[in-house]
Amino acid sequence: MGIQRFLSSRAGKRFYNIAYCWGACLVILGAVFKIAHMPYDNLFLMIGLFTEVFIFFISGFDVPATDYKWDKVFPQLKENGKSQAEEVSLPDPTGEMAARYAEQMKRLDDNLTRLNEAYEEQIKKVSAGSAAVNPDTFVSIEVETSRLVNQVQLLNNQYARMLEALNVPEVKGGKKK
């Protein structure tokens, strides 16, 4: 098969990679153009989609990856029909490792318990705080803020008229006009 041989070669893999990446780029570019209503949006999208169709079509001719039998390469991995990796155990005659492991697990459990308690306490505080907040307060704050903005604008206008009446030149950027 010529296609399979080509796709398994270095040049074939490179071609496949380039075509796949360019197709994906054109699809994304076409989608961006389509969303932004830019010219040639349909063209980029269609070229990209057709490239992806072509890539997926030729990927059917690609040879699947080889499943290696490592026990044939490393016979020590398999003995008497059983994997030695299953039988390996570390000697611990005094049980010191097990005791250290149990101690570490106990510390981890204590830390998680404290963390969970702190989290629950935070949730209770947030719930209590949100229950205490009155939504009408925010409405009155918004009304007062808009009133304050209006009054500051009126004050600025009045001040500008006073400066104009007194023939005081405007100061912009620290320099007189």
For 119-158, letters b (16+ CB in 10 Å) and e give eeeeeeeeeeeeeeeeeeeeeeeeeeeeeeeeeeeeeeee
Amino acid letter, 168: V
Q: Is the dihedral of CA 45, 47, 49, 55 positive or negative?
A: negative
CA distance 8 to 10: 7
Q: By the 8 A CB rule, do 160 and 168 touch?
A: no
| pLDDT reported for residue 90 | 57
Tell me the pTM: 0.34
| pLDDT reported for residue 83 | 52
Per-chain mean pLDDT for the chain? 81
| pLDDT bucket at 114, cuts 50 / 70 / 90 | very high
What mean pLDDT do residues 50-68 have?
81
> What is the per-residue pLDDT across 2-22, written as a single tens digit (0 to 9) for each?
787 887 888 888 988 888 888
> What is the per-residue pLDDT across 69-98, written as a single tens digit (0 to 9) for each?
777 777 777 766 555 545 555 566 667 888
Higher pLDDT: 124 or 61? It is: 124
What mean pLDDT do residues 25-43 have?
89
